[in-house]
Amino acid sequence: MVARLLELRGRAKEIKAEIGQLLQASAKDKRPLTEVEAESSEKLQAELDLVAATMKAEEKMAAYEREEAPAAAPAAAAPAATPAARSEGPNPWKSFGEFLAAVANVSIKGEIDPRLSSGMQGAASGLNATVPSEGGFLVRQDFSTMLLDKAMTESVLAPDCTPITIGDGFDGIELPYVDETSRATGSRWGGVQVFRRAEADTVTATKPKLGKLEIRLEDMMAVCYLTGRSVQDAAALESIVSAAYASEFAFKIDDEIINGTGAGQCLGLLVSPATVTQTKESGQSANTFVAGNVQQMFARLPGRNLKGAKWYINQEVWPQLFKMNQANMPIFLPGFNLASAPFGTLLGLPIAPNIEQLPGLTTKGDVLLADLRQYLLIKKGGVDAQSSMHVRFLFDEMTYRFIQRINGAPAWKTAITPYKATSNTSISPFVVVENR
């Protein structure tokens, strides 16, 4: 029954792909479907309806069989749990490694552990590839949470950002923001201005100017290869896969927070118009980061963001900090308080060191002063994990693929000009220094 459902889901995916190709071809040529294409599309739609009806009937039959199964059935042959029991009932797996090994055996040996049927019935229709040859099964919620927790623990930048969970039925978030580029009178809140009664003859009607910040979910993927022998060791399998997923996911999301293009991925701070770039000091030597850079960057940070701000540095910057002082007073203080600033402070703000996603010394972005609470990370659901023995078949390796829907962008659209500035210097929660 399980194998039959997997086969039907695979065919449904193929049909949807064929229909999608027809529609993409017509859209690319900016034309309606041809008569032949329309006829093919109708036939495919009809077949898809039949496949869906067959799947529904098979699922009902499976439910009937579960209800009629003997109450004292052996554990190995226990009936599959319903989707509700899968997410809320007891975990039938001793470990995440045991679950992964069972998934691998679907591809390697064609054996389907009865406990997997609950994962199969909880598979997301139309959102993930459930193909028999790939042995696609969803990860249980508790395993999914474990993977995400490991990834976020290993990440450095992501935990400092503001997380937003997207609910069912939505693929992103839309937030209104004040379209404000200057704090000068008449520009605050995008154009709001208040007058005194004595100025009544000059009062002008004003209103705030609002914009819309949109962030759409995008798939982020991690891939792990394991030998056929390691697949048989559930304990080793769990430790390897968990470490591989957590490490790669953590690295990738931190990298996109800094360097992302915003096209199908996070919008990185080094390309965001919200980030301000401080000029280097007059006469500054090449390959340096000096006290003047620190002071000027500090001055570009809004006062309300000081409490949550940190210095994020590439490890090549450390030698520059150790010799940094002004008028025989240290600007950099080594860490004395393991709880609040274990790696020291610059002008009283904590340092998050060795961010390898930041550029090397003297390149714009080697030091980032930021209040990452002003960076939004949206995510939805848990982790979708699938396996295949075919990708690395010649090497006797099993391939595991993990997908998490996530995206991010700064909450600020642009930097702003302060109210009483004597120059046209803008401020922002994100500050870097130009190339030196």
Q: Are 77 and 117 in contact (CB under 8 A)?
A: no
Angle CA(282)–CA(283)–CA(285) in degrees, nearest 5? 125
Q: How many CB atoms lie within 10 A of CB 5?
A: 20
Give pLDDT tens digits for 83-133.
Answer: 333 344 567 777 777 777 777 666 566 667 777 765 443 333 332 334 433
Are 421 and 322 part of one and the same domain? yes
Query: What residues contact 45, with CB distance under 8 A and at least 6 apart?
Result: 19
Give pLDDT tens digits for 1-23.
Answer: 455 666 777 788 788 888 888 88
Judge whether 54 lies within some domain: yes
Please give the average per-residue pLDDT across 394-403, as a whole number. 76
Judge whether 126 lies within some domain: no
What letters, b where the CB count within 10 A reaches 16 and e where it falls short, cover 115-153?
bbbbbbbbbeeeebbbbbebbbbbbbbebbebbbebbbe
Are 193 and 301 part of one and the same domain? no
Give pLDDT tens digits for 238-279.
Answer: 777 777 778 888 899 999 999 999 999 999 999 999 999 999
- Tell me, what's the pLDDT at 201? 57
Are 305 and 425 part of one and the same domain? yes
Amino acid sitting at position 430: F
> Can you tell me the distance from the alpha carbon of 288 to that of 291, in angstroms, rounded to the nearest whole number?
10
Judge whether 284 lies within some domain: yes
Are 428 and 329 part of one and the same domain? yes
Given 45, 68, 91, the domain boundary residue is 68
Please give the average per-residue pLDDT across 278-296, as a whole number. 94
Judge whether 152 lies within some domain: no
Q: Worst-scoring range by mean pLDDT, 157-161, 171-175, 249-253?
A: 171-175
Are 205 and 304 part of one and the same domain? no
Are 186 and 284 part of one and the same domain? no
pLDDT above 60 for 199: no
Its domain, for residue 25, covers 1-68
Judge whether 383 lies within some domain: no
Are 200 and 280 part of one and the same domain? no
Judge whether 305 lies within some domain: yes
Number of structural domains (the chain) is 3
Are 429 and 310 part of one and the same domain? yes
Query: What residues contact 329, with CB distance under 8 A and at least 6 apart?
Result: none
Banded model confidence at residue 404, pLDDT cuts 50, 70, 90: confident
Judge whether 79 lies within some domain: no
Are 204 and 291 part of one and the same domain? no
Banded model confidence at residue 141, pLDDT cuts 50, 70, 90: low
Q: How many CB atoms lie within 10 A of CB 415?
A: 21
Judge whether 267 lies within some domain: no
Are 190 and 315 part of one and the same domain? no
Are 288 and 192 part of one and the same domain? no
